[in-house]
Each structure stands twice: as structure tokens, then as C-alpha cells.
Structure 1
Amino acid sequence: MSGVIVTHQPRAETKDVDALAGCGVATVHEAMGRTGLLPTRLRPVQQGVRVAGTAVTVLSWPGDNLMIHAAVEQCGEGDLLVVTTTSPSTDGMFGELFATALRRRGVRGLVIDAGVRDTQELRELGFPTWAAAVSAQGTVKATGGSVNVPVAIGGQIVRPGDVILADDDGVVVVPREKAREAAEASQARETKEAASRAAFQDGQLGLDRYGLREKLAQLGVSYVSYEEHARDGAGA
């Protein structure tokens, strides 16, 4: 497998990345029209952490982390490393030493559609990590691959410089040219949800706030008492 290492990739604006970091994955996903969500197999090794960064992408041979070493050189302040493999892999391709090197370069975290190890050390280092598997299985450094090329993860395309946002709910990708639009839409959704939260704290029901009683009626859903329901033989 030959490959290419692309340098000087475009990146989303830092201010837009940071604005997205203030919103949750679910909010951003909804604000973008329910798009961009990466597969649910990508789970955090820590809890209570939200991070956003610009993607440096890696396409590796399964069980081979050579191209992660190559990618470290291309990473800079505010980036987030995104790794996938040419076929499914659960081997522990990333661990404490990689995290140490990336933290030194200002990298904000890792999303890898393969395995990681040294998870306790990753948490102690404070290096946010989302992975498809945790495995102590080691890897080799023997096969070429690519850095900073578009990669596909669970049907979603991640390009170098796109925004990756990750939290306890999962991972979402925001195309770099739509980062500002997505940030504005997400912040508007946050404002709307804050108003709904206040209304619910005051006792209002979602049925009324969202006009769902009318929807139930349109769908033919009716209200009956327990006695009526039992009398008609539909329940006991």
C-alpha cells in the first residue's frame, strides 16, 4: 500500500471551532439538519469531556501505526487527530507515548476507528480520546498509508481541516467551510433550548409548548379514562 502525506492543509477558523466547542454534539448534529454524526461505536475512554478541533486525518493499514507517527509531524495547535484503517481493526494502535507527543504540539484529542490502549494513562494525561475499541494488542510499523486525505468513517466523510466535535454522546464532523454557519445555528438552538428548559422548570408540558396535542389529534390518538378503556375490553 503506497500513500501520500499532504502538508499545509486548510483549516476551519479557530474562533468557529471554539464556538462549536461550546455546544454539545447532539445540538450541533440537530442544528446541521441531523447530519455529520459519526458511528456510535466511537466511544470516549473518559467521561465529562467535550472537545473540538480541526481534523488531521490518517488512513492506515489495520494493525499498523506507522502513519500515525507520520501524522504527528503534521499536527499543530488546535488540531484533533482522526484515524481510520483500510479494513476493520481493533488493535491498540494508539497509546500514552503518542498522546504525550501530540499534547506537546497542542493537539486537542483523538478520534480513532480502531483500538487504543494505555487508557488509564490517557485519562491521567488529560488527552481526550474516542475509539472503536480498547485492546492491549500491539501493532507493527511496516506499511504505507496516507495523512491529510479525505477518509470515510461509518459513511461520513472527514476531510483535513474539518471540525471534529466530541463529547459523551459521540462524535460529529462539521465541514470546514460550514463551520461558522453551524456555530451560529447551534448557538441559536442553545438559546431556544434554554427558553424551553426554563418553561419546563415552571411546569409547562412539551405537549403544549411544541403544539403536540394537535399532532396527536391529527394522528387519531384519543384520550379515554381507565374505566372506559377497561369497559370496552381493550385492557384491564
Structure 2
Amino acid sequence: MHDVRQSGQDLAARLAETYTGVIYDVMRDAGREVRTLPSTLRPLRPDARLAGPVFTVEGAIDESLEVHRTMLEWTGLLQEAPGGHVLVCQPNDSTIAHMGELSAETLQLRGVRGYVVDGGCRDTDMVRELGFPVWRRYDTPADIRGRWAPTALGEPIRIGEVTVTTGDYLLADQDGVVLIPGEDVAEVVAAAEAAMQQENLVRAAIRDGTPPREAYLRHGKF
């Protein structure tokens, strides 16, 4: 019997061996819609790379909540986050951190691949040391206690002009974050792998002294 979970893990591993530029190119060249998240989302570590299926989170500021309640809601979210996935969060907020060291360590130990948030992070030095991949918009010491709580898990969210859906696949690197519909990921990854092989031929030709125009005409890639 075909193991769907194993297939997803294999696709995530193969996707991680590509890069956002080539994914963008092959989707554009195939006439597909290419969804890239805003360039304001940056990795904590410049060398970080993140790939896998998406699980979405949405939340909102609610200062009527007691501290205890916000912490119960947040730890419940950490508990519900599915292993093998990338959490993508729309916090609808620009004032506090929506990730920190204890949360990052919890998610990492539970097998979550990484976290992308259209919001803030704190404890950044410690999160970097953990090696847990985080893309965020800003850093701040302010936390969620008594101020913020998740409102929906697994539902479509909007980040910038882009809709992000649970089941999408995501690839993030220093250049940015690109999304692939789950039903298209196998085809897109295969096309990216083929494109990277063509790029290797062009690279070898350039290093051998081939003029760039000739290299492009010979291999149809540059």
C-alpha cells in the first residue's frame, strides 16, 4: 500500500534540496500562479532553509483575556501543532512577539519543521542557537501574556495579498518564502530538479569559458 505520510516526507526532503528562485521560475514558466509571501518576512538565521507542508494559525489581540487564559490557549496551540509541518501564523498584530525560546524548543521536540509568522519573535539569540527555523517580520521583547490568543487553527489565512491554506507546501530561504499547492508539489519539485540539472550544465559551460549567450542558446537556461 502507498504510504502517503512517507511520500509527503520524501517530497519535503526533495523540496528542501531546491531553492526558492528555481521553484518560482518553474511555476512561472508553467503558467502557474506563484504565491510569494511579503519580502518583509526574514529568517532569524541567514543560512536557514525550511520546507514542508503547511499548517495555519490565526490569532488576534484581546486584552480582556486573563494571563492564565492566554497561556492556556498558547500552550494548547503548541500541543495541537502537527509534527512534520511548517506552522504559518497570521497574528493580526504588529506589537508583540508570537514566538519565543520555550515555544520554539517545544515545537522542535514535537517534530514541527519551522515557523513563519507575519509578526514578531523574541529570545532571538536562543532560538538561533536551537537551530529552529523561524521567519518573522520584527523582533521585540514584548510577549503575548494577557494580550493575544489564537482564534483559528487549520483555516485559510491571508498574509499580504496571499492566501495560505493548510496542505500547501512551503519553501523558505534567504531570498524569501514561496508556496506550492499541495496537489501540484510533486510535479513542481520534479520540474525544479530538472531545471537545476540544466543550470549545472550552464554553470559548467560558463566555467569552461563559454560566452554567456552561447551557453544560454546551447542549454536553454540562464
* Fold shared by both chains (TM-score > 0.5): yes
Q: Which residue of structure 1 lines up, in the alignment, with residue 159 of structure 2?
A: 153
Separation in 2, partners of 1:73, 1:161:
19
Matches within 5 A, 1:76-225: 76-86=82-92, 88-141=93-146, 143=149, 145-211=151-217
Post-superposition CA distance 1:10-32 (Å, at most 9, x none)? 99822212211110111111111
Post-superposition CA distance 1:126-185 (Å, at most 9, x none)? 101110111112223555510100111121221112111111111111111111011111
1:14 pairs with 9, 15, 36, which one? Answer: 9
SS at 2:87 equivalent: strand
Change (3 A) 1:186 1:90: farther
SS at 2:108 equivalent: helix
Separation in 1, partners of 2:186, 2:179:
13
* TM-score calculated relative to the size of structure 2: 0.82
Separation in 1, partners of 2:56, 2:179:
12
Q: Does structure 1 conserve the Cα–Cα contact (< 8 Å) formed by 2:48 and 2:173? A: yes
Instruction: Give the letter for the 1:80 counterpart.
Output: V
Separation in 1, partners of 2:14, 2:96:
34
Q: Does structure 2 conserve the Cα–Cα contact (< 8 Å) formed by 1:54 and 1:164? A: yes
* TM-score calculated relative to the size of structure 1: 0.77
Which is richer in helix? 2
Q: Which residue of structure 1 lines up, in the alignment, with residue 26 of structure 2?
A: 31
Aligned residues: 201
Cα offset for 1:37? 1.3
Separation in 1, partners of 2:214, 2:116:
40
Change (3 A) 1:68 1:151: farther
Post-superposition CA distance 1:46-96 (Å, at most 9, x none)? 12121212111111114887665333222233111111123x414212100
The alignment-based identity, stated in percent, is 33
Larger Rg: 1
Q: Does structure 2 conserve the Cα–Cα contact (< 8 Å) formed by 1:58 and 1:146? A: yes
Q: Spell out structure 1 runs of 4+ moving beyond 3 A.
A: 62-70, 140-144
Cα offset for 1:97? 1.0
Instruction: Give the letter for the 2:162 counterpart.
Output: Q
CA RMSD of aligned residues (A): 2.3
Separation in 2, partners of 1:55, 1:68:
19
Query: Could you list the runs of 5+ residues in structure 1 that have no partner in the other structure?
Result: 1-9, 212-236
